[in-house]
């Protein structure tokens, strides 16, 4: 019976009720040892009715065995694995030892765990109960938390119990479980004192008797109302103490001392079995080791008879974790080492390696090698946190300093890929201490340190570290860091050094980019920009590299040659370098297309934690293409994964992109909040690319609202920003917007200077969209209509075509040609509505009314916000829109689930919501709508 837990019971029943209704929910029960968390979990397991129950308990001796807890949890439902998407199925099979390939991708594995849990709860729901979560092995904990944060429409109730002093469980709401209030504690004392003490598993009374009120109050105060402490203390008090005739012990039994007397009273053989069970939970191993040490099965039976431990299937479990602590502390260090040594002789694989490590006295290469093999197995299955722990311990046991440094380096990599950057940096620092004069190892450590800095630290520091290397891979990392920082001088120098390497794709990209920017640094074009203050002009002159000249023929040829080899690329990193090559040729549309390909490759190739970084560029590509909802969904996913991985600079990237999207939708408060959060990371970390995008978001917020002077000021500041605060790519990509702001603010001289820079940059751009943007920029500066019409004929991007149509319509209306203006304004309005660009839709709506057309659209007119969007794809959420796009690509629900780290049932749930929203009933109809949405607008459409 539970006393005084009405609030906790209500919260648990709410979680279960939500799951039964199709809303998956997770809850953490947090409290000190003995406070009653396990009893609440027992209640949760019993309240599910016909819901399936899966249960596991973290066991401290198994906390270093990768996937041990997950194996225990999922074993009853492995028969459902065939229902999973193939990549997820194989990943889960691999970690459960059921065959299947080891993916090495912890995100893919975690998605497979979510899918399997979803299948387990598909018919009647699932209650997933995890006790002592703080002692789960890291691989199991990571996978379960990934699932817990994504339960969504799954019929899953997940409850995790964790010690009060354990680290926070991020992303899952927590319910504190505290000591009982005095009335409930008094009830518990009365019930306990009236029961005999049979020494069984579930009762804990003393000799029986009545406890006087004063003693009750004292016990509640001294134990803090902890139920376990109350019950166990009463068992140890004499009738005289319970009746108040004798004083209470000072101090009361507490902590591990709570069970110390019972452990000390065990017969010698039973105490030996208890010690073995405290360091190894496997029953067969405990019995074999006990036999070797002279204790038989009778000793196990004696231990069970005390009520301190029991047999659960193939495991030995103590009644409470504090009993294990008491047993462990009662043994001498030599006794514990001997227990581990004997167990190692009976075990194999990972268990043997860990027992050998615990038994070791001093350094031992054989034991270290065994632990390194354990780490390799964990790493191959995606258990990076456990691999880091094993390698760190292996390093401690390694006699040779160079080998120790190498293992610490590998441990740092595993910790990094496991989403623990702080641990990774500490391990790397320790590795550097032991590296000695090994030049090769020293360079590998430097490269890792630079990568860590780039992902979570200072981009400029990453440049300094990485630029010290000579290999092409390290130069590429240095160039990436310099690009993030916006350090043009460093990129130019890296390109010069890359040119000395043999010809190849990566060498051509690095050298071509360096030559492109070298031409810009010698040209000094920024001084042509007319800024609003003398200080801005001087800063712009000092940062002249932000307006690069057109690529000279050598640079152009190298970048073109690299792009011609994209058919040979197989990894996401290669496609991202191709993205950069297209970008430096001025072809934003091709750059976006290549970034999207990088994302598709990353999702199916097991990027081992790098997917959040790749998604930065995918989200930007979707935004550049005008697919704002798709970009939103990608950035939301990337932001979540980046936070899980601990990649703070990638967090800034996704926040900045989300800020731009909020600006395009006209959400002022949200845009400013997101930009502020992005800048709070990007500026101190000197990540100029992301700082520049956040600044661009604020400029676009002003531009969309028609605040041209404010927008002009912001765009000018972006041009003037130096390394760490701005970036040349942000400058040239935003030039069409900058020209629009300058023209709107009446600064035609600044608009002309920006156009000159854009013409130089775009001189060798070959795509139709790049030529369309250039034609639009020229038309804005020269004042003619022909350039807009040319742009409309060239545009392949519907969103940019709508921007051009709006500008042309505005010009025609102001030239008193409303009849010619209206078709352009109408087409622009429809596109802005579909994409969710509400400020531009309001602008187009206002122009239409001024041109004499009372536009009502499909859903009427809102005087404040313009026409409401029609019932097409705009009504879908970003996640629904992404699923719709993948359906249009011909993917099945399982294939979509594999790409988006969802369960197939979640995909089907979203489709179930999509069809009625759109008034359709088949995948074919959905695909047709998506294809129509993505179809490029033509000049004829706008005319």
Q: What HEC string does 590-609 produce?
A: HHHHHHHHHHHHHHHHCCCC
Residues of the chain with pLDDT under 70: 100-104, 194-209, 251, 253-257, 520-552, 605-609, 854-872, 933-943
What tokens appear for 684 in the block? 């101190």
Q: Measuring CA to CA, which residue among 579, 648, 559, 586 is closest to residue 619?
A: 579
Rounded Cα–Cα distance for residues 771 and 777 (Å)? 10
Planar angle of CA 440, 443, 444, nearest 5 degrees: 90
Give me the residues paired with residue 311 across strands. 316
CA-to-CA dists, residue 692 to 22, 581, 621, 660, 696, angstroms: 42, 20, 16, 11, 6
Q: What HEC string does 564-577 produce?
A: CCHHHCCCHHHHHH
Rounded Cα–Cα distance for residues 351 and 328 (Å)? 19
Q: Let me know if 378 is exposed, middle or buried by CB neighbors in 10 A (0-12, 13-18, 19+).
A: buried
Q: Measuring CA to CA, which residue among 83, 79, 73 is closest to residue 147?
A: 73
* DSSP assignment letter at 282: B
CA-to-CA dists, residue 87 to 138, 190, 893, angstroms: 22, 56, 13
Q: How far apart are the first and last CA of the chain?
A: 77
Rounded Cα–Cα distance for residues 939 and 418 (Å)? 50
- Tell me which residue has tokens 């019929």: 155
CB 767 within 8 A of CB 774: no
Q: What is the pLDDT of residues 752-777, one digit of tens each?
A: 999 999 998 887 788 888 899 999 99
Q: What is the pLDDT of residues 130-179, one digit of tens each?
A: 999 999 999 999 999 999 999 988 999 999 999 998 988 988 999 999 99
What tokens appear for 502 in the block? 């043999």
* DSSP assignment letter at 874: G
Structure confidence at residue 608 (pLDDT)? 55
Rounded Cα–Cα distance for residues 242 and 246 (Å)? 8
CB 139 within 8 A of CB 382: yes
**Residues 623, 628, 631, 633: what is their CA dihedral angle, to the nearest 10 degrees?**
170
Structure confidence at residue 541 (pLDDT)? 37
Rounded Cα–Cα distance for residues 527 and 416 (Å)? 44
Rounded Cα–Cα distance for residues 893 and 907 (Å)? 6
What tokens appear for 485 in the block? 């920082």
Structure confidence at residue 552 (pLDDT)? 55
Q: Let me know if 105 is exposed, middle or buried by CB neighbors in 10 A (0-12, 13-18, 19+).
A: buried
CB 330 within 8 A of CB 324: no
Label the pairing between strands 861-862 and 866-867: antiparallel
- For the range 473-477, what are the long-range contacts, defined as Cβ-Cβ under 8 Å and sequence gap of 24 or more? 473/447, 474/443, 474/446, 474/447, 474/450, 475/501, 475/510, 476/506, 476/510, 476/577, 477/447, 477/450, 477/451
Q: What HEC string does 496-512 produce?
A: HHHCCCCCCHHHHHHHH
CA-to-CA dists, residue 869 to 633, 671, 873, 916, angstroms: 19, 21, 10, 17
CB 143 within 8 A of CB 385: no
Rounded Cα–Cα distance for residues 935 and 928 (Å)? 11
Listed in sequence order, the residues at least 6 apart from 451 whose beta carbon sits closer than 8 Å to its beta carbon are 462, 466, 477
What tokens appear for 163 in the block? 């010690």
CB 493 within 8 A of CB 468: no
Rounded Cα–Cα distance for residues 522 and 4 (Å)? 77
- The number of angstroms, rounded, from the C-alpha of 767 to the middle of its chain's C-alpha atoms is 35
Rounded Cα–Cα distance for residues 669 and 662 (Å)? 9
Taken in order 54, 60, 62, 63, the sign of the CA dihedral is positive
Structure confidence at residue 629 (pLDDT)? 84
Q: Measuring CA to CA, which residue among 161, 184, 187, 192 is closest to residue 174?
A: 161
CB 193 within 8 A of CB 208: yes
Rounded Cα–Cα distance for residues 779 and 760 (Å)? 16
Rounded Cα–Cα distance for residues 693 and 729 (Å)? 10
Rounded Cα–Cα distance for residues 471 and 796 (Å)? 40
Q: Measuring CA to CA, which residue among 452, 455, 442, 446 is closest to residue 475?
A: 446
Planar angle of CA 135, 141, 146, nearest 5 degrees: 160
């Amino acid at each position: 019976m539970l006393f005084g837990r009405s609030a906790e019971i209500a919260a648990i029943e709410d979680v279960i009720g939500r799951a039964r209704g199709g809303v998956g929910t997770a809850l953490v029960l947090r409290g000190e040892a003995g406070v009653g968390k396990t009893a609440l979990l027992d209640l949760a397991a019993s309240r599910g009715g016909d819901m399936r129950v899966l249960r596991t308990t973290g066991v401290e001796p198994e906390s270093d065995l990768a996937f041990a807890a997950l194996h225990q949890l999922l074993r009853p439902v492995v028969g459902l694995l065939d229902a999973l998407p193939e990549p997820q199925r194989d990943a889960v099979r691999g970690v459960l030892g059921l065959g299947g390939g080891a993916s090495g991708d912890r995100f893919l594995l975690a998605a497979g765990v979510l899918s399997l849990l979803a299948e387990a709860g598909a018919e009647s729901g699932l209650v997933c109960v995890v006790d002592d979560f703080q002692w789960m092995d890291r691989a199991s904990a990571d996978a379960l938390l990934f699932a817990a944060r994504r339960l969504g429409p799954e019929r899953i109730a997940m409850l995790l119990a964790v010690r009060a002093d354990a680290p926070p469980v991020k992303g899952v709401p927590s319910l504190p479980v505290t000591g009982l209030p005095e009335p409930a504690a008094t009830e518990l004392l009365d019930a306990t004192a009236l029961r005999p003490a049979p020494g069984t598993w579930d009762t804990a009374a003393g000799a029986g008797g009545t406890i006087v009120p004063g003693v009750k109050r004292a016990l509640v105060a001294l134990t803090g109302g902890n139920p376990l402490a109350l019950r166990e203390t009463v068992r140890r008090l004499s009738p005289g103490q319970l009746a108040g005739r004798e004083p209470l012990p000072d101090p009361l039994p507490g902590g591990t001392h709570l069970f110390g007397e019972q452990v000390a009273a065990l017969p010698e053989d039973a105490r030996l079995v208890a010690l073995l069970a405290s360091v190894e939970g496997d029953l067969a191993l405990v019995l074999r080791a006990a036999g070797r040490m002279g204790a038989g099965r009778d000793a196990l039976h004696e231990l069970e008879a005390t009520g301190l431990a029991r047999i659960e299937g193939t495991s030995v479990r103590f009644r409470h974790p504090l009993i294990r602590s008491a047993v462990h502390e009662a043994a001498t260090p030599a006794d514990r080492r001997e227990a581990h040594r004997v167990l190692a002789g009976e075990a194999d694989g990972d268990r043997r390696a860990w027992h050998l490590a615990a038994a070791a006295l001093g350094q031992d290469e054989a034991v270290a090698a065994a632990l390194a093999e354990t780490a390799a197995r964990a790493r191959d299955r995606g258990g990076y946190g456990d691999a880091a722990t094993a390698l760190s311990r292996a390093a401690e046991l390694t006699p040779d300093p160079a080998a120790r440094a190498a293992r610490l380096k590998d441990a740092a990599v595993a910790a990094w890929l496991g989403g623990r950057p702080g641990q990774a940096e500490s391990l790397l620092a320790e590795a550097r201490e032991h590296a000695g004069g090994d030049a090769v190892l020293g360079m590998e450590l430097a490269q890792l340190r630079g990568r860590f800095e780039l992902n979570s630290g200072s981009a400029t520091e990453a440049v300094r570290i990485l630029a010290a290397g000579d290999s092409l891979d390290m130069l590429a990392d240095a160039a990436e860091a310099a690009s993030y920082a916006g350090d043009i001088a460093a990129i130019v120098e890296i390109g010069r050094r890359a040119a000395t390497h043999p010809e190849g794709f990566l060498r051509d990209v690095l050298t071509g980019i360096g030559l492109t920017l070298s031409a810009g640094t010698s040209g000094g074009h920024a001084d042509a920009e007319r800024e609003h203050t003398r200080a801005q002009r001087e800063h712009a002159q000092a940062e002249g590299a932000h307006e690069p000249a057109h690529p000279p023929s050598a640079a152009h040829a190298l970048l073109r040659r690299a792009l011609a080899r994209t058919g040979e690329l197989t990894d996401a990193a290669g496609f991202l370098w191709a993205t950069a090559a297209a970008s430096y040729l001025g072809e934003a549309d091709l750059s976006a297309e290549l970034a999207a390909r990088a994302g598709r490759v990353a999702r199916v190739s097991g990027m081992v934690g790098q997917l959040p970084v790749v998604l930065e560029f995918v989200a930007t590509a979707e935004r550049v293409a005008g697919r704002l909802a798709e970009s939103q969904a990608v950035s939301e996913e990337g932001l979540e994964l980046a936070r899980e991985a601990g990649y703070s600079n990638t967090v800034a990237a996704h926040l900045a992109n989300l800020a731009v999207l909020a600006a395009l939708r006209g959400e002022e408060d949200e845009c400013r909040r997101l930009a502020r959060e992005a800048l709070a990371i990007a500026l101190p970390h000197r990540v100029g690319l992301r700082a520049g995008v956040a600044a661009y978001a604020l400029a676009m917020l002003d531009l969309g609202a028609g605040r041209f002077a404010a927008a002009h000021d912001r765009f000018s500041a972006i041009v003037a920003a130096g390394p760490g605060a701005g970036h040349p790519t942000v400058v040239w990509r935003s030039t069409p917007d900058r020209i629009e702001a300058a023209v709107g603010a009446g600064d035609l001289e600044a608009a002309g200077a920006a156009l000159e820079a854009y013409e130089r940059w775009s001189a060798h751009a070959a795509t139709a969209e790049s030529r369309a943007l250039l034609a639009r920029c020229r038309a804005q500066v020269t004042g003619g209509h022909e350039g807009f019409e040319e742009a409309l004929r060239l545009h392949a991007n519907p969103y940019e075509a709508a921007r051009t149509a709006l500008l042309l319509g505005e010009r025609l209306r102001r030239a008193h040609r409303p009849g010619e203006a209206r078709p352009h304004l109408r087409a622009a309005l429809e596109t802005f509505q579909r994409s969710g660009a509400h400020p531009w839709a309001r602008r187009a709506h206002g122009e239409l009314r001024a041109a004499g057309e009372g536009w009502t659209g499909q859903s009427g007119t809102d005087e404040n916000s313009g026409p409401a969007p029609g019932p097409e794809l705009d009504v879908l959420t970003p996640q629904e829109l992404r699923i719709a796009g993948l359906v249009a690509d011909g993917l099945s629900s399982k294939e979509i689930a594999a790409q988006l780290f969802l369960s197939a049932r979640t995909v089907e749930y979203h489709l179930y919501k999509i069809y009625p929203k759109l008034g359709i009933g088949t995948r074919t109809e959905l695909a047709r709508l998506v294809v129509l949405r993505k179809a490029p607008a033509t000049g004829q459409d706008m005319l």
